[in-house]
Every structure is written in C-alpha cells, then in structure tokens.
Chains A and B, each alone.
Chain A
C-alpha cells in the first residue's frame, strides 16, 4: 500500500488537473470517462507524478494508465510501501 502521505499528494495532482476535490475521487474512477481527462491531460498527470516523486516512467507505462487505481499502482510499484 502507498503511504497516506503519498496518496494525498497523488490525489492533489488529480485535483490540480481536474478541479475535482480529492475527497470525491475514487480508486475506480476512470480518467477519461469519470474525471473528464483527455489524452493530453492524462500524459500530464503521469508527467507530474514523475516530477513530484522524481520517478523514471516510460511512455508505454504512461499510456497504459486508465484509471485512478492505475496511477496509484504505478506510483506504488516505484515508491514501494513507504
């Protein structure tokens, strides 16, 4: 599991990009259909994740992220369980 602090920061990025309050964002929300993100904003999301946590993320991984659970899983895989 991601630490609560990491989860909060990732939800904050989502809020910055979508203007949807963190408390209303659910793990099962789809980035496009539920959060209204287009393909460009989805790439910005992964890019901001990479920058804020200083992660190296490949494009293939970025385009594969489809929902909030996916972005949390990507972060967890890189950050571990801290």
Chain B
C-alpha cells in the first residue's frame, strides 16, 4: 500500500509533522542521514530509512513504494559567509530530491520553503500571491530560498505543493533557530537585535498544516503557515517580565545589525560556536513583513495557537533541557499577554 516519506523527519518541524501525520492515521517512513540526531525518532519508535540528499540512489530507495513525500530537509546554510557553495549545495540537493521522486514514482511532494520568499504587499498584509520576480537581494538566505522554491514550483513530473512557514516557535527547537533571541533573553544575555516585523507561528500548528497539505485531495500550490505579526523589539520587551530579566537594550539599526552579524558569523567559524546574531535572522527581521495565512485557514481548516500559549510550551521544554533557568530561579512576575502588532488572522 502506498505510503508517505518524510525527509528531515528527525528535525524540529519534522517531528511535529510526524506526530500530526500519526494523529491523522498515517504511519510515514522517516528519512534519516547516517550522521544525524535520531533520538526523537527512536523515542517515537518511528520507521526509519536511510536518505541522504547528497546520494540520489539512497533517495530513490527511500522513496520506493511511497506516493507522497514531505521534504523538510532543504539546505539551511549555517552562515552566510560562502554564498556560492551554499547555493550550489542547496540547488543540487533540491534537484536530487526531485529526480529521485520522479524515478520512484512519487505522485505528490510537499516542499517546506520559507516566508523569506514572500514579497512585500505595499497595500497591507502579504499572502501567497506576493512573490519576488527574481531572487531578492537581501542576503544569501532569501536568495537561496527563492531559487530552491522556484525549482520545486517549476516541477512538472508530479504534483508539488510548497509550504511557507514563518518563524517557528515551540518545544523541540534543539538547534535553537527562531527561538534563539528569546532563549538568549531568558538567560539574561541582552541579545543584540535589529528591529522589524517578525511573523511567528507555533511549530505544532505547522506540523498539522504540513500533514494536511500532504494528505488533502485539493490544496493550494503555495501556502503560508503563519499566525501572528509582531515588531521584534516590542515583542522582546513584552516577554522580558516572563523571564524576570530587564528589557533588552535598544534595537540596532539595520546596517549595524548586518555588520554585527557578519562579524559574529566569521568569529563563530573561527571559534566553532554559534554566532550570537546570525545574518539570516537579521535579514529576516530587517526585511520582514506582516503576513496573512487566511488561505491555510480556509483551505485546510487550520487554527493558530496564540503566541502566549506557544511561549508557555517553549519555556517548559527549554527549562526541562536547562536551556533557560528554571522558573524557581527567576523572580516571580506576571507575564503580560503578548499582543500582536497585526494578526495574520484571529487566533482561536
């Protein structure tokens, strides 16, 4: 019987997608590289299959017998320091996935892209109709995500659907991606940051959205998954009491933040550590825009978890892993509600 394969199943969003697919009665095959963290897949007793984006034959083998593929393993460069290599890697891996899916007889592939590919709408909220005509010049991350998404959208051999989740927050973000600034703030580190619009969404809602997009008979070709729009500095100030820490220092200008991130990334490579501020986060914030995900609500029946509840879940998880101090180590405070600058929709 045909089944589904998840590429990137062991990652932050992959595990939430796996949980959501199981809740819908599916038992997908989970692709994994030889060297990857599969603790989450092991604890879920998931069925694993070797699948390496640098080895097309392994992808064909993993996809054999699958009619649907959920691809969350698109290249995410660790830094923006080497655009040529990152672009080549991202595009070559994307072509391998597409060619393998065609060779294995896959009928539908859902590719997880990014809201970095969504263009501004001068009249208000951006939605699925807003695309850049050519790669945006905001930095490597935007340009690469645009080029990769274009490859998938142009595919003609089988059906492709593209999901564009905004900044994902929630339990399980082991690589501390979107939540990096929040975690740093909670640790009392006064994180350097630019200001701009950030669109955010609960990773568990994204998992549900991806599962429904994979299974639905009819769905849009391109779909934004996003819940709330905020101004970053205002958001960090509003959540500081939640962690019993002072409000962060004022936001850096865009030029200052870009220079700081470039410097941090170069140092992080030399010292083999995470940058305190990464270039792709700066670019996403500086060029961020308010989004509407009404189509996902209407077409897939999705409802968005309010940010305050997402933060509660993120905090509980991060405290369990000692990523942030436990609540008893922080002064008591009443966390104010986080009010979106403008809602992508009405959270329910």
A24 — which chain B residues lie within 8 A by C-beta?
Answer: none
When the two chains form their complex, are residues B174 and A59 in contact, meaning their CB atoms are under 8 A apart? yes
Is residue A74 contacting chain B, with contact meaning CB distance below 8 A?
no
User: Once the chains are docked, how many angstroms separate the CA of A19 from the CA of B127?
Assistant: 47
Neighbour of A47 across the interface among B39, B176, B272, B321, CB < 8 A? B39
Known: A39-B274, A63-B321. A56 touches B35 (CB 8 A): no
**Smallest beta-carbon distance B42→chain A, Å:** 6
When the two chains form their complex, are residues B273 and A50 in contact, meaning their CB atoms are under 8 A apart? no
Neighbour of B38 across the interface among A16, A40, A47, A58, CB < 8 A? A47
Nearest B residue to A17 via CB reads B35
Is residue A57 contacting chain B, with contact meaning CB distance below 8 A?
yes
When the two chains form their complex, are residues A56 and B175 in contact, meaning their CB atoms are under 8 A apart? no
A5 — which chain B residues lie within 8 A by C-beta?
Answer: none
Q: Can you list 14 residue pairs at the A/B interface with Cβ under 8 Å?
A: A38-B273, A39-B174, A39-B176, A40-B37, A43-B174, A46-B37, A46-B39, A50-B42, A51-B38, A59-B174, A60-B320, A63-B321, A63-B322, A64-B322
| Interface residue ranges of A24-54 to B (CB < 8 Å) | 32, 36, 38-40, 43-44, 46-48, 50-51
A47 — which chain B residues lie within 8 A by C-beta?
Answer: 36-39, 42
Q: Count residues of chain B with CB under 8 A from any CB of chain A.
A: 18
B37 — which chain A residues lie within 8 A by C-beta?
Answer: 40, 43-44, 46-47
Known: A40-B175, A63-B321. A48 touches B42 (CB 8 A): no
User: Once the chains are docked, how many angstroms separate the CA of A46 from the CA of B36?
Assistant: 10
Tier of interface size on chain A: 20 to 34
Is residue B43 contacting chain A, with contact meaning CB distance below 8 A?
yes
B36 — which chain A residues lie within 8 A by C-beta?
Answer: 44, 47
Neighbour of B274 across the interface among A38, A44, A58, A64, CB < 8 A? A38
Contact mask for chain B residues 38-70; partner A; CB cutoff 8 A; 1 contact, 0 none: 111011000000000000000000000000000
When the two chains form their complex, are residues B321 and A36 in contact, meaning their CB atoms are under 8 A apart? no
B176 — which chain A residues lie within 8 A by C-beta?
Answer: 39
